[in-house]
Amino acid sequence: MPTENPAPESTGDPAPTGGGDGGQGFKAPTSQAEFDAMVKSRLERERAKFADYDELKAKAQQLDDSQQTTATRIAKLEKELESTRTTALRSRIQAKHGISDEDAELFLTAADEATLTKQAERLAETADDRRKNGNRDPLAGRTPSNPGGGPDAAKREWLRSVTERD
């Protein structure tokens, strides 16, 4: 069976507390004035520990404000960067496919390269088809269904006589 250590022998001297009294043992106050002085000194030491609390609190608030401002600025700059990249991509694809500025502004609306390329190719195909076919007037070469008459015949005749056309 294990043996227990006996309690250390007491020397009758009060044990030192390690307090702020320079290593001396605790001395009990003998009067209310001594007690008040001890409590006052203890309170002053505790207050001294937290004396700069308001200053630290103000600095922490400044740091939080600064971080918030920085985060807002970073978000704004990232948005501006994305806009600039999209504009540069749109311009590059526009130049590659020979699309006018007006058509690019109206028809190249995507934000990613693949979709912008598809839009540009489709727009370029449409423009090529228009160039191949030229301006087409489906009624060109037809004669009016009522060449000599109608409600405007007199007006046309008067206009021809004034302008001296045949």
Return averaged pLDDT per consecutive 10 residues of the chain, 166 residues in all: 50 48 72 90 88 89 96 98 93 90 88 91 84 72 64 81 75
CA distance 64 to 52: 18
The predicted structure's pLDDT at residue 63: 96
CA distance 97 to 116: 11
The predicted structure's pLDDT at residue 132: 77
The predicted structure's pLDDT at residue 84: 94
The predicted structure's pLDDT at residue 130: 75
Phi and psi torsions of 127, nearest 5°: -65, -40
The predicted structure's pLDDT at residue 145: 63
How does DSSP assign 9-27, residue by residue? Answer: PP-SSPPP---TTTTPPP-
Helix (H) or strand (E) holding 57: helix 53-97
The predicted structure's pLDDT at residue 13: 47
